[in-house]
Amino acid sequence: MVVPRPIRLLTLISAFLFLWLVYQIFKSDLPHGSPPKEEKITNWVKDPNLDPTDEPPEPLRRVIGNNYAPNNPDSSRVNATLMALVRNNEIDAMLQSMRDLERTWNSKFNYPWLFLNDEPFTDEFKEKTSAATRAEVRYELVPKEHWDMPSWINRDLYDESVEVLKAQGVQYMDRFSYHQMCRWNSGFFYKHPALLSTKYYWRVEPNVRFFCDVDYDVFGWMQDHNKTYGYTINLYDSPESVAGLWPATEKFLAVHKEHLHPNNAIQWLTDKEGRPENFEKAHGYSTCHFWSNFEIGDMDFWRSEAYEKYFNHLDRAGGFWYERWGDAPVHSIALGLFEDKSKIHWFRDIGYQHVPFLHCPNSSKCRGCETGKFTDGESFLQKEDCRAVYFKHVGMH
């Protein structure tokens, strides 16, 4: 029997389709586990927070007996402190943050709290915050020379710049103390005499929330795993607030190439695709940054020669005043350029909220937040999320 040519072709196609179908069925049976921790996500299809989140890799330091008891002189605590710059009138908001962090973590590990302020703390502030923890608490004034507008800033030019950028919608541009706060968080907190003999810090702001129980020593983990910096959220910045920051950074790099780390994250800093209009307005900076109201870091990085020179360069350039450079983009750019990117850690297990953004992992240790939800505010805020850009260029370390 002779099979006509078109039929032969059809049979061939059917056989091929059958094999393809079998392959597809088999493929969908493969396990769909969460991606390995260090993997880069080149195609962001779903929030990694929806994947089950566990503790980071061993070694993990645990509470055993009284090794982390508050007054134990031989405790297992490493060289670290919790730290908050805060005003007296933020007492209730500060107590909210303390309650959450003590409940989820610090009541187990009892790291000291350090409160800093440009004005003396009231007795009420001291009494209420001391009562919110069993750990040691200290209260310190920010030295005037760390807080005041430096002599080389032209007050008239500052006033004019405030009007110009206010008209462009830069939030907080007209709040003098906001500029002071951003500059202090960029270049001074780790120079405070009360912090000089401390290595790691965890920055805590008033009115933040922590959702998940954390059962290992977070600072000990930073030390054991050689991490410099830990974050939870990556956000785009308002490009108008940092228009001159990248150009000033490029000037610095032109004469200080030696500080560029061979394993840097410059591709994250200079990503164009995520938000092209930000990249344009910020003259080559993606504006993607670690949201620094949460940060766990090694202050020896801020004390390094590279960062000290970089900060002084930026400080002289005047952008903390004539623009509204935040400590978040400044810290992020420095880390992305001068540090080994594998030393930057995503604390995916620490559920966190600072209005209007949150970080809510998929874990039975978390309560009070909706898994994977990124904002509590208007839905347009969703596009401020730039974790995808970070994971694409750097990965999830």
Ligand X SMILES: *[C@@H]1O[C@H](CO)[C@@H](O)[C@H](O)[C@H]1NC(C)=O
Q: Does 118 bind ligand GDP (CB under 6 A)?
A: yes
Comparing CB distances to ligand GDP, the nearer of 294 and 338 is 294
CB within 8 Å of 250: residues ≥ 6 apart = 284
Can you give the three-state secondary structure of 246-292, one letter per residue? HHHHHHHHHHCHHHCCCCCCHHHHCCCCCCHHHHHHCCCCCCEEECC
Residue with tokens 């150009």, as numbered in its chain? 247
Q: Which of 39, 300, 305, 308 binds ligand X (CB under 6 A)?
A: 300
CB of 41 to ligand X, least distance (A): 16
Q: Which is nearer to ligand X, 225 or 281 (CB)?
A: 225
Contact between 226 and ligand X by CB under 6 A: the answer reads yes
Find out whether 68 and 76 touch, Cβ atoms under 8 Å.
yes
Of the listed pieces 79-87, 120-128, 300-308, 360-368, which binds ligand GDP according to CB under 6 A?
A: 79-87
CB-based burial, 121-132: b 16+ in 10 Å, e otherwise: beeebbeebeeb
Among 151, 197, 263, 379, binds ligand X (CB under 6 A): 197
Helix axes 327-338, 305-317, angle to 10 degrees: 140
Query: Mask of contacts with ligand X, 235-254, x by CB under 6 A?
Result: --------------------
Residue 2 DSSP one-character state: P
From CA 215, how far away is CA 365, in angstroms rounded? 10
**Residue whose tokens read 């993607």:** 288
- Give the closest residue to 347 by CA, choosing from 105, 108, 55: 55
Known catalytic residue at 136: no
Q: Is residue 225 involved in binding ligand X (CB under 6 A)? A: yes
Dist CA 284 CA 16 (whole Å): 49
Q: How many CA atoms lie within 13 A of 7 on its CB side?
A: 4
Closest C-alpha among 374, 42, 46, 83 to residue 232: 374
- Shorter beta-carbon distance to ligand X: residue 222 or 337: 222
Which member of 240, 295, 339, 384 is catalytic?
295
Per DSSP, the chain holds a count of helices (H) and strands (E) of: 16, 12
* Piece of the chain touching ligand GDP by CB under 6 A; list 67-75, 81-89, 121-129, 342-350: 81-89
Q: If contact means CB under 5 to 8 A according to the sort of partner, which of Mg ion, ligand X, ligand GDP, none does residue 90 touch? A: ligand GDP
Q: How far is the CB of 263 from ligand GDP (least distance, A)?
A: 31
- CA-wise closest residue to 300 among 336, 339, 332: 339
User: What does the alpha-carbon distance between residue 92 and residue 220 come to, in Å, rounded to a whole number?
Assistant: 30
* Binding characters for ligand X, 24-53, by CB under 6 A (x = yes): --------------------------x-x-
Minimum Å gap between C-beta 136 and ligand X is 15
By a kind-dependent CB cut-off of 5 to 8 A, residue 85 interacts, out of ligand X, ligand GDP, Mg ion, none, with: ligand GDP
Residue 342 sits in the site that holds ligand X (CB under 6 A):
no
In the complex, the residues that contact Mg ion under the rule CB under 5 A are 205
Residue 97 is a binding residue for ligand GDP (CB under 6 A): no
Binding residues vs ligand X (CB under 6 A): 50, 52, 79, 197-199, 225-226, 300, 362, 371-372
Q: Which residues are catalytic?
A: 295
Binding residues vs ligand GDP (CB under 6 A): 84-87, 90, 117-118, 177, 181, 205-206, 293
